[in-house]
Amino acid sequence: MKFPNLKEHQFSVLMSNSETGIVLNVDLEIHRGDEEKSAYSVFESMEQTKEFINKISLVNDKIEFIIYNPKQQVVEFIAAKYS
């Protein structure tokens, strides 16, 4: 799983199933290391990043998110919405 090359203002999001811990690709399917689809979604701003997370959470409340900055540092972990 290769981390994307981000510009200074960009953020990336990694998603996983909160019940299994399995990493998902950008199509919300199980990520396989040898596939073309990335496990990371890239956004131009934190606002766009949060909008994406809110949208996905409405569709699937069992997905958790990790937001990264260009230095590959965790900016925020967002737990799944289900209880």
Tens of pLDDT, residues 24-66: 999 999 999 877 889 999 999 999 999 999 999 999 999 999 9
pTM here is: 0.92
pLDDT of res. 62: 96
Amino acid at 54: N
Is the predicted pLDDT of residue 74 greater than 80, yes or no? Answer: yes
Which residues does 62 contact at the CB level (< 8 Å), separation at least 6? Answer: 17, 18, 19, 80, 82
For residue 64, which of 14, 2, 10 has the smallest C-alpha distance? 14
User: What is the radius of gyration, based on Cα positions, of the chain?
Assistant: 12
Reported confidence tier of residue 18, pLDDT bands at 50, 70, 90: very high
pLDDT of res. 33: 80
